[in-house]
Chains A and B, each alone.
Chain A
Amino acid sequence: AQSVTQPDIHITVSEGASLELRCNYSYGATPYLFWYVQSPGQGLQLLLKYFSGDTLVQGIKGFEAEFKRSQSSFNLRKPSVHWSDAAEYFCACVTGFQKLVFGTGTRLLVSP
């Protein structure tokens, strides 16, 4: 069965520092991969997605992610974090049956 693993429950980053959030997937074929962000009390917003082509994808708010098949990873990065980026981030995966499964999330805290 497919699964998505986000090994970091929470991460604290200083404002202006770089960020990397880890995501690993378990699926036989190449999945469709997504990163979503959830601000407190809100629904989820799509940051970026990967389904084929260039393995480095750009998203909104200055985020990017790199798909690495050899590592079954799809890590999210941002070169300089802003205080407004504090939120919970979810990696997600879709299989051919259009079954969308999420990881457990990583809560990002931004320190001044």
Chain B
Amino acid sequence: IAGITQAPTSQILAAGRRMTLRCTQDMRHNAMYWYRQDLGLGLRLIHYSNTAGTTGKGEVPDGYSVSRANTDDFPLTLASAVPSQTSVYFCASSGEVNTEAFFGQGTRLTVV
């Protein structure tokens, strides 16, 4: 089934640990995005990528890094997790600029 797969579904992580959230899409979309969703703040863009090999910073990039080695994968890495990074993380992808974005089911991350 075509779509976006995020892993893990949820994770409890000790502060200071490194963590990579995985995101894979099989729709051959050029653009991919990472968002964090926090109560009252909506979805805030962390990083995005318009095409393989390029990435850009969103609204809240600090403490996160991404890579886009190929079209399908867009992992998000927390180099040293902090409690303020506790959130639900959504990965999304879209094809052309005026088409809808498809979302994964989210990763619930708790940093303790």
Stretch at the interface among B39-47, B64-72, B73-81: B39-47
Q: Assuming A32-B97, A43-B103, A44-B103, is B59 touching A100 (CB within 8 A)? A: no
B61 within 8 A of A: no
Q: Is the CB of A98 within 8 A of B105?
A: no
A34 cross-chain contacts in B, Cβ below 8 A: 100-101
A46 within 8 A of B: yes
A102 within 8 A of B: yes
Partner of B42, one of A32, A94, A97, A102: A102
Q: Is the CB of B106 within 8 A of A43?
A: yes
Interface size on A, as a range, is 20 to 34
A6 cross-chain contacts in B, Cβ below 8 A: 42
Q: Is the CB of A104 within 8 A of B45?
A: no
Partner of B92, one of A96, A100, A103: A100
Partner of A104, one of B41, B56, B100, B101: B41
Q: Is the CB of B42 within 8 A of A49?
A: no
Q: Is the CB of B104 within 8 A of A43?
A: yes
Q: Is the CB of A94 within 8 A of B103?
A: no
| Chain B residues close to A by CB (< 8 Å) | 30-31, 33, 35, 40-45, 48, 50, 56, 58-59, 90, 92, 94, 97-101, 103-106
| Chain A residues close to B by CB (< 8 Å) | 6, 9, 32, 34, 42-44, 46, 49, 51, 90, 92, 94, 96-105
Known: A9-B40, A100-B101. 8 other contacts (CB 8 A): A32-B97, A42-B105, A46-B100, A92-B101, A97-B50, A99-B56, A100-B92, A102-B43
